[in-house]
Structure 1
Amino acid sequence: MWPVPPDPGVALRMRTAHARARAALHSHPALGSAEAWGWNGRTLGMPVVTLSRPAWLRVASAPTDQIADTYWNGAIEAQDSLPPSIPRPQLWRWHDWSDPTWAYRSELYEYVADSTVAAPAVITAPPNLPAGWWRGVRAALEVIAAIRTTRVTIQPGFLAWAMPHYLGVPASDYATLPWTPAHGDFHFANLCAPNLRILDWEGWGHAPAGYDAAMLHSYSLLTPETADEVEREMAHLLTTPAGRYSELVVITELLHAAKQGTNPEIAAPLRRRAASILGRPTVAARGSG
């Protein structure tokens, strides 16, 4: 989630879309409900009340000529493919519509009473996690990694360009390491406590083994105490060659995002972490900027 609404024009368009979705799915805003915005206003969610029960209604939008199937259909395919042992809100119904410029998908979910561990993805203070919470995380990641799917979270072609560009290492050096299914956006703003629930399944699919643990660690680097805890609790995933590669992959992605203005405050610790893994300072390819 993002802590503030996007550009006023985007906010108005998405609030209008959310009102349309509420009417289509026979729901109304819950008393005192707060908005939860996605990146650049691409999504808007809030608690609602249906005819029979509380729910969460999320609306996603994309330009009609730029719909990426992986992210557009991820939640529906998760509902169809993921076993019930993975703790997550159930997707009950969805509704699509479009205009000449924008496509919209509204998704009505089971309401989760527990809050996310953090509001932003990048944490700046150690979270207070209950006993047994990490055990649930490890169990969930084990189940996720065994799912059968053809979905892909991160494209090898992007890594072939981006890893030399940002780290000065060829992705081909790691071509023999395994990939397994991953949640794909595994950070404390998508994880609930005290009862573990994993939110936002739009980008799940194959990624380097250990990818989710690596993402949780990378987003925690501004809070070294928490980064150390993640590394300790996820050691079985992060200390393997595949796990080290997954960290480099996540670091590459987040450095790319930082260069575009998303969470630039973690760029320096990401580079320090990459240097620690590689055993040398990161050196981007010539002309990469």
Structure 2
Amino acid sequence: MYSEPEPDTARRMRGVHATAATVFDAKPVGSREAWGWRGRTFSRPVATPSGEAWLRLVSAPADKAGGKLWDGPQEAERLMPPAVPRPRLRERRTWTEGEHGYLAELYDKVTDPTITTHEPVLREAPDLNGTWWDELVTALDAIAGVSSDRVAVRQEYLDRAMPEYLGTPIDTKVPAWTTAHGDLHWANLTAPALTVLDWEGWGLAPAGYDAALLHAYSLLVPDTAAEIRRRLGHVLETPAGRFAELVVITELLQTVTRGDSLELEAPLRTRLAHLVEG
């Protein structure tokens, strides 16, 4: 979840969301709103004849409206096993309006809140019990076992970006690939009951990628980062897992150059030094 975008984008997305609600015979409920990065997505709880639901609107330039990100939730609904708790997709619609393409998705409502609300970075330790952690481990193992030709991370990107952003010569060949959620951070996880949200970008990634990403977004809270290493050590404390951490550090250091997550730069570089020297 991110902050509200600039006014023109917010006004457009709210208007199109209201139109989409009528298509699904739904009415917005309450004042809760959830924004994606720079207003690319906008979601609200709604009431439908069959009960409460969650209506998510995705926007993209008309010539880029489609493909892997557009189909991710639908494919997750088809392929993810029951061990992966996620909101169930009821219906979807796509259309083009002027310069923008839109995807509206109606989900079963998830009642538990996300662990962070406006950003993926963790800033204080969450109150998570052992059951939550056990279910996360089970979910990530189940995701890794799904067979799919979708791709979340590309070898070609790593060949170019890892030497550039890590600042050190490195073998960029991925040692092992598995299926990953691809955007596993604290704003995409709920508690006290675990639900994994946002299935746009899932697909093949370096083995351990999800665990590495969640760990990186936890570096400002050392106790939680240590808990992740303990709970997911079977993934992270392997050569493939350490490589996945280098991949994630590469990606996040690139976002730092764009002005995002600046406070993560120092702990990311500290973790990088540990991995390279170790």
Q: Give the TM interval when normalised to the shorter protein.
A: over 0.9
Structure 2 regions of 5+ residues with no counterpart?
A: none
- CA distance in 1 between counterparts of 2:147 and 2:239 reads 23
Select the residue among 57, 73, 77 that pairs with 2:55. 57
Given that residues 5 and 41 in structure 1 are in contact (C-alpha distance below 8 angstroms), is that contact kept between their aligned partners in structure 2? yes
Matched with 2:240 is 242
The two structures, once aligned, show a CA RMSD in angstroms of 1.4
Given that residues 179 and 203 in structure 2 are in contact (C-alpha distance below 8 angstroms), is that contact kept between their aligned partners in structure 1? yes
How far off its partner does 1:174 sit? 4.4
Matched with 2:137 is 138
Given that residues 33 and 48 in structure 1 are in contact (C-alpha distance below 8 angstroms), is that contact kept between their aligned partners in structure 2? no
How far off its partner does 1:12 sit? 0.8
- Aligned pairs, number: 277
Matched with 1:264 is 262
How far off its partner does 1:67 sit? 3.5
Q: How does 1:21-60 map to 2 (within 5 A)?
A: 21-30=20-29, 32-60=30-58
Q: Give structure 1 regions of 4+ aligned residues with deviation exceeding 6 angstroms.
A: none
Given that residues 71 and 203 in structure 1 are in contact (C-alpha distance below 8 angstroms), is that contact kept between their aligned partners in structure 2? yes
Given that residues 130 and 193 in structure 1 are in contact (C-alpha distance below 8 angstroms), is that contact kept between their aligned partners in structure 2? no
Given that residues 40 and 58 in structure 2 are in contact (C-alpha distance below 8 angstroms), is that contact kept between their aligned partners in structure 1? yes
| 2:157 paired with 1:158 | yes
1:196-241: CA deviations, max 9, x gaps?
A: 1111011100000000000000000111111111111111110100
1:70-100: CA deviations, max 9, x gaps?
A: 2111111111111222111100001111123
TM (norm. structure 2) is 0.96
- CA distance in 2 between counterparts of 1:51 and 1:176 reads 48
How far off its partner does 1:45 sit? 0.7
- CA distance in 1 between counterparts of 2:223 and 2:142 reads 27
TM (norm. structure 1) is 0.93
Given that residues 160 and 170 in structure 1 are in contact (C-alpha distance below 8 angstroms), is that contact kept between their aligned partners in structure 2? no
Given that residues 125 and 224 in structure 2 are in contact (C-alpha distance below 8 angstroms), is that contact kept between their aligned partners in structure 1? yes
Q: SS of 2:94's equivalent? A: strand
Q: How does 1:92-131 map to 2 (within 5 A)?
A: 92-119=90-117, 120-131=119-130
Given that residues 163 and 169 in structure 2 are in contact (C-alpha distance below 8 angstroms), is that contact kept between their aligned partners in structure 1? yes
